[in-house]
Amino acid sequence: MKEITNSLNKKIYYIVAWTVIAIMISGLLIDNPRFGEFGVVYISHSILVVILSVCLLLYRTNGSAILRLTIIIVASIYFYILFLFYPETSSTYVFLCFIPALSILYFDSKLFYFSLLLNFISIVIIYGYILLMDGMQYPFIEEDPIGNFVNFVASQIIVYFIFYLTNGRIKKQQLYYEQIQHSERLKTTGQLAAAVAHEIRNPLTVVKGFLQLFEKDSSYSVDRQEQFTLMIDELNTAEQVISQFLSVAKPDKENVTEKVNVKVVLQSVTDLLHSYGLLHDNRIELKVTEDCTISANTIEFKQLLINIIKNAIEASNIGDRVLVTAGREKDFVVIQVIDQGQGMSEEQVVSLGTPFYSLKSKGTGLGMMICFNIVEKFNGTIDFQSSIGHGTAVTIRFPTSKLS
Ligand code: ADP
Ligand code: MG
């Protein structure tokens, strides 16, 4: 499917590019007042058409930022040259107004602002040139310079609004697409987990049972028995991973959605993790501004908070505090878990939720995946603001409960 859209896009691109090239060439050949003179004007016009055509054709295979910038600069020069070299064709002024619109096609906001600025500076220079030196050739500007300039500025504002609205929409669509990709990933992992985990859990239980028998069998030496204990420990870890995985794959109907009091759950979770935090002298501070309720499953909601607060404690330095806040924002309950620990880079934040992604020597890398799943299940959102060395703020939003 992707290949079909790709080849379709490629075809459309080349059709558009060749059409533009054909229009530029026809500008050179058809009814051109400088045609046949082969002076500086005509030659530089021709060179610009060639450069612009090559850039346009290259762009599909090498869509680098530098090439984009080159296209915009060459196109600007091209339109200004048209304006300057063919003063009798007053409609070329219209092109000048729409130069920044070209960069909208590349969805590159920096390029757009650059193009807008470049266009503004160029038009001021052009007005200066016309009014001070060469007014006779552009009577429409000389007769009403202010009116023409105001129109130019208005056209730039219109182009800006078009850019602003399209860009916002594209960004939203991109975000939506990423979210869909993410939930697809979760769905696949869930199905995979369900299939594999059961198959592994049974043989594990059998092996563990035998090992527990051997561990208690005094006919084995103490050394051997210690090895059995070690093997049982390792199997326990494996079992833990599997149970975590299975909790993702559980069918929905097993979990009832109920009215959950956020304050009560947060209190119980922070009490539970209090002693875990004390291991590294980390205090957990809880601030709940008002009573709020959400529609969720208490056990899963606890699991979500435990995972996030545990991560915050694990990322914290000795003595740091972890702040947990909850409050209401319009129709949403907002819970934040803020630590001042090691933080994450942008790439690390993007990788969160990928199964087995963990930077800890004893991590399972499943915690965040489970969290994403739970948040999604109860129509919530989760965001991360993090900077390396400064800490992380995890923000969870759930709609307030409509259950009575
Ligand atoms: P685990 O905790 O088992 O490693 P998680 O899925 O809970 O797995 O977390 C994945 C990784 O994300 C962690 O290993 C850690 O590197 C990073 N991470 C999660 N939360 C934080 C946080 N608050 N601060 C810094 N890193 C974090
Ligand atoms: Mg974790």
Select from 358, 366, 374 the residue to mutate for testing ligand 1; criterion: most ligand atoms less than 8 Å from CB. 358
Asked if residue 122 has pLDDT above 70, the reply is: yes
Look at residue 179 in the predicted model and tell me its pLDDT.
75
Q: Are residues 50 and 144 in the same domain?
A: yes
Q: Which of 203-207, 302-306, 386-390 has the highest mean pLDDT?
A: 386-390
Cβ contact 108:166 at 8 Å: no
* 339-372 pLDDT tens trace: 999 999 999 999 898 878 888 877 778 889 889 9
Ligand 1 center to residue 358 CA distance, Å? 6
Q: Does the pLDDT value for residue 245 go beyond 80?
A: no
**pLDDT above 60 for 252:** no
- 8 and 140 housed in the same domain: yes
Among residues 157, 177, 197, the one where a domain terminates is: 177
Residues 185, 304 within the same domain = no
User: Same domain, yes or no, for 186 and 313?
Assistant: no
19 and 114 share one domain: yes
Of 249, 280, 302, at which residue does a domain stop?
249
Q: Which residues line ligand 1 (CB under 6 A)?
A: 307, 311-312, 315, 339, 341-344, 352, 357-360, 363-368, 392
Q: Are residues 160 and 267 in the same domain?
A: no
Q: Looking at the structure, tell me whether residues 185 and 172 fall in a common domain.
A: no
Kindly state whether residues 218 and 300 are assigned to the same domain: no
Q: Which of 155, 177, 199 is the last residue of a domain?
A: 177
CA distance 166 to 344: 31
Ligand with minimal distance to 370 CA: 1
Domain co-membership, 164 together with 220: no
Number of domains in the chain: 3
Mean per-residue pLDDT of the chain = 86
Domain of residue 266, CATH code: 3.30.565.10
Nearest to 56 by CA among 91, 102, 100: 102
Domain with 303, as residue range(s), is: 258-399
Query: Do 270 and 376 belong together in one domain?
Result: yes
pLDDT tens for residues 260-297?
999 999 998 888 788 788 878 899 999 998 889 999 98
* Ligand 2 centroid from CA 374, angstroms: 14
* Atom 19 (ligand 1) nearest CA: 311
Residue nearest to atom 10 of ligand 1 (CA): 358
265 domain residue, yes or no: yes
* 104 and 200 fall within a common domain: no
Let me know: does 100 contact 164? Beta carbons within 8 Å.
no
| Residue 404 belongs to some domain of the structure | no
- From the alpha carbon of 341, which atom of ligand 1 is closest? 24
Q: Which atom belonging to ligand 1 lies closest to the Cα atom of 368?
A: 6
Clarify whether residues 394 and 282 are in a common domain. Answer: yes
